[in-house]
Structure 1
Amino acid sequence: METTDKEILRGGQFLVKETQCEDVFTPEDFSEEQQMMKESVKEFIDREVWPHKPRFEKKDYAFTEEIMTKAAELGFLGISVPEAYGGLGMGFVSTMLTCDYISGATGSLATAFGAHTGIGTMPITLYGTEEQKQKYVPKLASGEWFGSYCLTEPGAGSDANSGKTKAVLSEDGKHYLISGQKMWISNAGFCRLMIVFARIEDDKNITGFIVEYDPENPNGITLGDEEHKLGIHSSSTRQVFFSETKVPVENMLSERGNGFKIAMNALNVGRIKLAAACLDAQRRVITEAVKYANERKQFKTPIAQFGAIKGKIAQMATAAYVGESACYRAAKNIEDRISIREAQGNSHQEAELKGVEEYAIECSILKVKISEDIQDCTDEGIQIFGGMGFSADTPMEAAWRDARISRIYEGTNEINRMLAVGMLIKKAMKGHVDLLGPAMKVADELMGIPSFDTPDYSELFSEEKEMIAKLKKAFLMVAGSAVQKFGPQLEEHQQLLMAAADILIEIYMAESAILRTEKNAKRFGEESQEIQIAMAKLNLFNAVEKINTKGKEGIASFAEGDEQRMMLMGLKRFTKYANLPNVVGLRNKIAEKVTAENSYCF
């Protein structure tokens, strides 16, 4: 299909416009080149990483560096880097795919890879001058140097712009002298290049700098000891101290005061990549859990045959399938938006920046949902293993600990929930997403008499797609009324924003799974997608239940009397099934397929 501007929804528009299944990209659409890339990354991880998992738990930082060097030799560190700077110059979907399959075996490698290829390299490719890119990016793409990203400080975490690190211009005007303290710096122990954020004089916003680090000639840079962490044991994480570190003025990244913008845009890409980095971890945990459940017998029966275990396996597999569906849908939207901007004459830098920024809402949605899904998945993995799951001798214990960081870095899930709704409202104010019109229609609908016609649900997903449309109305009702009531003060009502965000998240994820499955059922036949159809339906049921709960919570927080009663009646109407699915039957069908295949098989 030729890509035109009209066919691609803008970021956030999924809420107010219907997407046709033919217009979404799915993992079943991978090109031959992408399939080959996926297989080569998987083969690398299965050969070099998976058999050596215990080494990562023993804080073998040198081993992580060794694996990163091997990944570099195969070109994996330069997937998204333009060919002009020594990379492979592949599209955004291929970048996501590599991040997905390289990250599943251990969080230590996932973090090292993500920090280097994302926030360690990307700020230079997106914001650097031509000289900066020519000088540094080839070294990063080839793995000759590893990168790190120095933003967080003891007093500046979520409020990243409040950092105290200073950059003072030298008397001869040739250098900035950087002094300050950074913490939680991934790859600090083996990096040769740091993206450092510091404040010049009393500027409102911080500024970014490219800082070289040579352990033989530290230039005022001191590293703290390796942090003792709950998980990601072999990811090098240290404090970094700067004492009048001399940085040439030409190493300022972008313009003075542009650091906060660089940091935020780097995080947008980091968020969707982090979501991708949790996918193969889920697949591997499910596979290990199912293998164990098939082997472990109690009461002379494999525990995989017990209903309680089936329920867990089904939910784990469903979450992984839904996460894949949403991740690759958004990745292709970003890739297409980049192509459109390049066709309009934007530079690759500008096109990529704006392409990702356009879908910042979706990036936050994916980061929150999939980081929580991997935590749930590993938690249930431990439960399926029972007492053995609590033992460090099985893979579940390390997977559970590694998963925990995902809800914190790249912006905490609480911050990302509020960002998702906040950014959507800002887009509405700018006229990029028409929320007001649809919200007013929903308000009118609440005043009207509901239709009692019996709809025709004979087509695949006809009721489910109608339900998605109703769930969007539920969001517009709650969020629209909240905006009306609180206006700009809405951001002070964090619990209400988080409830609205949960509704938004569930809608995007559920719609993505249904569209992927519908597309595949049309081209491969419904029979071939029987289990995927079950997963899409099971996930939608879970989404409806959560939206019902979060909707009530939100409404009760700001509406009273007749207004509250009317909105609760609306919520009931918008979350009501005509034909309630047999949830237990769906779970059993999914679990039986996964246990028969003895792995995550979709």
Structure 2
Amino acid sequence: MTVAEKEKKKSLIVGGSFLTEAHPLAEIFTPEDLTEDDHDLADTVADFVEGEVVPNIKKLEEGRNEDMVAMLKKAGELGFLAAEVPEAYGGMDLKKTTATFVGEKLIKHAGFMVSLGAHTGIGTMPITYFGNEEQRTKYLPRLASGEILAAYALTETSSGSDAMNARTKAVLSEDGQHYVLNGNKMWITNAGFADLFIVFAKINGEQFSAFIVESAWEGVSVAAEEKKMGIKASSTRMLNLDDVKVPVGNLLGQPGDGAKIAFNILNIGRFKLGGAAVGGCKQALECSTKYAIDRKAFEKSITEFGVIKHKLGEMAIRTFATESMVYRSAGYISAALEDIDFNEQGAAERILKSIREYAIECAMAKVAGSEALDYVADEAVQIHGGYGYSAEYEVERIYRDSRINRIFEGTNEINRLLTVDMLIKKAMKGELPLMEKVQALMGELMGMPSFDFDQDMSLLADEKKVVENAKKIGMFIAGAGFQKFMEKIEHEQELLAMAADIFTETYVMESALQRTLKKAEKDGEEAAELMIKMTKAFIHDSIERIGPIAKTALAAIEEGDALMTMNAALRRLLKHQPVNTVAIRRDVAAAVINKGGYPL
């Protein structure tokens, strides 16, 4: 590594450090930082979706694999399957920020998006990041062009979120030329038509490893299609492996590397899911707005009613905040991966380290994105009223399709637990000064309150204070819980989940704040007026959501006088100046109605 590379590495933001330090605005990526080329590419993808996918949604929903394959092949011909494949193997090698933006445009039909995402993401990325030169040369150009299609086979009946409990077994043949695989994988997206699978199995029942398995090989078969609630256009089947001979050259990485490969690819998958959810929120908001404008009640458009304005405004605000968080995380990951030469010695380890560094942000993106989309999709149905429950309307499908996102890529419950677990582990390794911050904070909160008045008169000064206090609340809960339960805290899952909710809410709050401040700094407050309003509303509503969670958490940790003292400290941190969020949502709704959808 050169001196310049070392200096750049030093400047990379540490994953999870949003809790312990302020990140300069210049280092925060926002959607406004996307280039003209990024927009041109995204527009091309949007044109493809509108021209090819949308007119065929009804046909795709019938679930015939040949229709989905034909659509994916068309996407491949146009280069849309090559987005993140290195140029040397026929790809576009897009940054994660650009790829996130492009991904938003594919969400017009979730079944298509899921199928394409399974191919380009978890199906192709293991070979891109962890394959050797021979494997990349053999498979990546064909995956990038759509000549062959991929799937990812990790889950089993006995190992959903507990991936390491896999029973699929690999045994080296006597001549040392093949690994013989036996087992079953379930819930495999694209299984009905995939040409290759990334399969995880334990060598001799012990070393969890990853293999590239071609569907045409003897012993590979798939079961019937699953009957699903949503994403009906996508293929979901069980994969059966019966004495499948896999050449030793198709082992990804080294024996025992499966966990590193699986979990880091899942990290990317979680992040991508968060980005797709943002696109889904925008789609639901757009179709709701158009419906509400046209729908008349009591001789006027329902957009004139305050309760509908509330819904449209809040849908836009949550979309804005989640979008801010997703692109901030995309910027971190892009910066970490930017200068890695895939063919240099040690590249796989650098890639692993870079992805793992932001595993916390990826988990939070998945949880926040999927739950924001569920909220927006639900409100979209409500705005449609009885028509929202009819399959004749687009919003009915959006509602059904959104539900899987809280289960995909590790359930939201698992991702909540992972968020806190990873923060604690980084702190224990000395990668984050979290324990020091917690100790200082506990002393501050348990002592006499300060009566110094903050004279900060800068833009969104109150909101900055709220965000800082939200960080303190999260660390307060985590610190008190750790002091109480020590190493047994892993058994206090409800407490960990509540701490994760506070951390995630805080990360989203701060991301919206930083995006708005960056916009105002660059283009002036007038240009950022709508963002300022949305940021105010989101942050003040967020701290109100955090309050009950924190109170419940403290009651699970202490009781009696100790609990009273802690609650007194918590009340100080929850104090904030009231904001007229009703008026803000009306203003945001007006912008939504004027734009016919997401107003930015």
User: What TM-score results when the alignment is normalised by the length of structure 2?
Assistant: 0.96
State the shift of 1:580 in Å: 0.8
In angstroms, what is the RMSD of aligned CA positions? 1.7
Q: CA deviation at 1:510?
A: 0.4
Which deviates further from its counterpart, 14-23 or 495-504? 14-23
Equivalences, count: 594
Aligned to 2:487: 488
Structure 2 partner of 1:105: 108
**Alignment map for 1:230-249 (pairs within 5 Å):** 230-249=229-248
Corresponding residue number in structure 2 for 1:209: 211
Structure 1: state its 5+ residue gaps.
none
348-357 or 104-113, which deviates more = 348-357
Measure, in 2, the Cα distance between the counterparts of 1:478 and 1:194: 43
> What is the DSSP-based 3-state SS (H/G/I as helix, E as strand, rest coil) of the residue aligned with 1:78?
coil
Look up the match of 2:142.
139
CA drift at 1:254: 1.0
Distance (whole Å) between structure 2 residues aligned to residue 236 and residue 200 of structure 1: 29
**Contact 1:224–1:238 (Cα < 8 Å) also in 2:** yes
The alignment status of 1:123 with 2:126, answered yes or no, reads yes
Question: In the alignment, does 2:190 pair up with 1:162?
Answer: no
Q: CA deviation at 1:362?
A: 0.3
* Aligned 8 A contact 2:95 2:338 in 1: no
Are positions 1:589 and 2:591 aligned together? no
1:98 maps to amino acid: V
Mapping 1:368-383, distance limit 5 Å: 368-383=367-382
Deviations 1:4-54 (A, max 9, x none): 445432000000101232321111111222121111111111111123322
Which residue is equivalent to 2:462? 463
Q: Map of 1:389-468 to 2, 5 A cutoff? A: 389-468=388-467
Matched, 1:47 2:51: yes
Q: 2:62 aligns with which of 58, 62, 70?
A: 58
**Aligned twin of 1:598:** 596
SS state at 1:199 partner: strand
> CA offset at residue 347 of structure 1?
5.3
Q: Does 1:71 align with 2:40?
A: no
Alpha-carbon shift at residue 504 of structure 1 (Å) = 0.3
> Which amino acid in structure 1 is aligned with residue 145 of structure 2?
S
Measured at CA, do residues 549 and 57 of structure 1 come closer, stay the same or move farther in structure 2, by a change above 3 Å? same
Structure 2 counterpart SS, 1:460: coil
Counterpart pick for 1:171 among 171, 174, 186: 174
Does the CA-based 8 Å contact 2:463-2:540 persist in structure 1?
no
Conservation of the 8 A alpha-carbon contact between 1:53 and 1:105: no
SS of the aligned residue for 1:592 comes to: helix
Deviation at 1:161, TM superposition (A): 1.0
C-alpha separation in 2, matches of 1:514 and 1:64: 41
CA distance, structure 1, for counterparts of residue 452 and residue 427 of structure 2 = 34
Deviation of the 1:342 alpha carbon: 6.1
Residues 207-266 of structure 1: per-residue CA shift (max 9 Å, x gap) = 11111112xxx5011210111100000101111111101111111111112212211111
In the alignment, which residue of structure 1 is the partner of 2:92? 88
Query: Which residue of structure 2 aligns with residue 194 of structure 1?
Result: 197
Say whether the 8 Å CA contact 2:509–2:538 is kept in structure 1: yes
1:352 and 1:591 mapped to 2: Cα distance?
43
The corresponding residue for 1:278 is 277
How far, CA to CA, are the matches of 2:45 and 2:350 in structure 1? 27
CA distance in 1, matches of 2:341, 2:507: 27
Matched-pair contact (CA < 8 Å) for 2:215–2:221? no
Q: Which amino acid aligns with 1:584?
A: V
- 1:17 lines up with 2:21 in the alignment: yes
CA contact (8 A) 1:107 1:232 kept: yes
SS of 2:188's equivalent in the other structure is strand
Q: 145, 153, 164: which one pairs with 1:150?
A: 153
Q: Percent identity among equivalent residues?
A: 42
Q: How does 1:544-563 map to 2 (within 5 A)?
A: 544-563=543-562
CA–CA distance in structure 1, aligned partners of residues 57 and 231 of structure 2: 11
Q: CA deviation at 1:129?
A: 1.4
Alignment-mate amino acid for residue 547 of structure 2: N
Contact 1:56 1:106 in 2 (8 A): no
Deviation of 1:340 after TM superposition, in Å, equals 6.1
Structure 1 letter corresponding to 2:56: H
Q: Quick one: structure 1 residues 89 and 386, their matched pair in 2 at CA, closer, same or farther if it must change by over 3 Å?
A: same
Tell me if structure 2 keeps the 8 A contact 1:322–1:536. yes
The aligned runs of 1:515-530 (5 Å cut-off) are 515-530=514-529
CA spacing shift, 1:150–1:505, aligned 2, 3 Å: same
Distance in 1 (CA, whole Å) between partners of 2:346 and 2:35 is: 25
User: Is 1:184 aligned with 2:183?
Assistant: no
What amino acid maps onto 2:503 in structure 1?
A: L
SS at match of 2:212: strand
How far off is 1:196 after superposition? 0.8
Deviation at 1:341, TM superposition (A): 6.0
8 Å contact from structure 1 (residues 76, 98) kept in 2: no
Q: Is the 8 A contact 1:517 1:536 kept in 2?
A: yes
Q: Partners in 1 of 2:473 and 2:100 — Cα distance? A: 32
Q: What is the rounded CA distance, in whole Å, between the counterparts of 1:232 and 1:444 in structure 2? A: 51
Aligned-residue offset at 1:348: 4.8
| Whole-Å separation in 2 of the counterparts to 1:163 and 1:170 | 21
Distance 2:349 2:114 in 1: 27
SS of the residue 1:528 aligns to: coil
Residues 291-306 of structure 1 mapped to structure 2, 5 A cutoff: 291-306=290-305
The SS at the match of 1:552 is helix
CA contact (8 A) 1:276 1:327 kept: yes
Q: Does 533-542 or 498-507 show the bigger shift?
A: 533-542
SS in 1 for 2:383: helix
* Residue 500 (structure 1) aligns with: 499
TM-score, normalising length: structure 1: 0.96
Structure 1 SS opposite 2:410 = coil
Mean Cα deviation higher: 436-445 or 365-374: 436-445
Q: Give ranges in structure 2 of 5+ residues lacking alignment.
A: none
